[in-house]
Amino acid sequence: MNTVHKISSETLDLPTIHNIIFLQKKLELSTDAEHKISKCRAYLDAKMKNEGAPIYGINTGFGSLCNVKISKDKLTQLQENLVMSHACGIGDLVPKAVVKLMLFLKIQSLSYGHSGVQLETVKRLIYFYNHDILPLVYTQGSLGASGDLAPLAHLALPLIGKGEVHFNNAVCSSESVLKALNLNPIKLQSKEGLALLNGTQFMSAYGIHLLIKSYKLSYMADLISSVSLDAFDGRIEPFNELVHLVRPHNGQLKTAKRIREFLQGSELISQEKIDVQDPYSFRCIPQVHGATKDTLAFVKKTFITEINSVTDNPNVFVDEDEIISGGNFHGQPLALALDYLKIAMAELGNISERRIYQLVSGLRGLPTFLVDNPGLNSGFMIPQYTAASIVSANKQLATPASIDSIVSSNGQEDHVSMGANAATQAYTLIYNVERILSIELLNASQALHFRSPKLSSPLINSLLISYREQIPFLREDGIFHKKIKTSIRFIEEFSIENELLFD
């Protein structure tokens, strides 16, 4: 098995990134990437020797200080001052998995040879990635416009021996880690600080992490809802392909097909039904889950474009002999996509909670609150409250962040995306959806027990055998907190092959 991923100009896709993470691959620069980085840096060094005119961020100040010319002997200090002054993040720590993705995506963006960084700088970032030296980065501080300035400043601090890192399961000063590893701080050259700080890698890392999570939860929502459908004694007719071919949204077709496959061979789904129709939370699973799938496809396209792009400023074009100050760091495409992702994933939680409610309502021969002796036992009454609470919290989190903006840098940066806020909101919301689905699975497993001796499909029966080894049938009241946590862990550890996960 190949345990190394070569950084190159080949297009990164979601399955590739998933494999890099899952297989814990190490990073190396390809020969082509090394050549592009070195060629761009050599061009910039030559340009600085012969160029007296101001070039933004290279020999000028930053933001509204863009017209302040900086002397050549101060350029290293300029870049280091930039990194230190912008490291003003606050709030919670960014999860380590997201920080590692930030490192990876920053390395990828710098490797295209349009950023002017030293080869040594990129190799040091790769060293950090490969040895799990993960900078402490904070969730608050980015407007998602001039790049993710504050988070990326914290990401860059260890390069110059500043800030703190996670290393060997401890938080250490970067200075002490570099000394222990016999590494010298990087001496930043012209433009390097700006190349490190400009960019969308905070938003992008959250987006990629959450996309992988969302694809898994989309699959799990289909699987868990199939368990609920059989437990509720629901009908299979609404999943007939004929229904969906006359309204052929891709996600709708995929969802209906999945449900049919999950329930193939079920005694329960094929038995004669008393009820002519099911509530929307069952009957309209293809339409609701499918719309989320179509949203995921759009969000994936946006983020795949972004992570295969150059997002710092200014951009250096060696062959054209151009250094151009533009706005590729602006996070508007990501902000809109993250807001759309929030709304779509919130709906998976919303409809899941409705199925939970139907299962505990004493309908279709199921006992009220899915327990014998209701009254003496409250049974599954309160887990539905928990799910409802989370659903309402998600409705608040799903409010678009991208409709907001605020002026910064003395009016120079007068429109911002707020994509970083959308990213952190999406993180909370999507992990909330996992919690809701875990409660649905808990309820559906309990409800399906009351349909014995008739069985669901072989696939679902196999799933529930594994599940009930961890959470057996509940005969009387117990503490639900631990059961819900166990159910969440079951979903987290559930393995899905790439070809199914990203279908």
Instruction: Catalogue the active-site residues.
Output: 56
Closest C-alpha to 143, from 361, 412, 345: 412
β-sheet bridge partners, residue 5? 27
What is the spatial distance between Cα 339 and Cα 98, in angstroms, rounded to a whole number?
18
* Cα distances (Å, whole numbers) of residue 270 to 222, 225, 239, 244, 441: 19, 17, 13, 20, 21
Q: 49: Cβ–Cβ under 8 A, 6 or more apart, which residues?
A: none
d(CA 295, CA 154) in angstroms, rounded, equals 32
The answer to whether residues 289 and 253 touch, using CB atoms and an 8 Å cutoff, is no
CA distance 11 to 348: 30
CA-closest candidate to residue 230, choices 27, 391, 450, 405: 450
Distance between CA atoms of 28 and 12, rounded to whole angstroms?
Answer: 15
Cis peptide bond prior to 472, omega within 30° of 0? no
Give the span between the Cα atoms of 213 and 234, in whole angstroms: 28
Q: Return the ∠ at Cα 242 (arms to 240 and 248), rounded to 5°.
A: 105
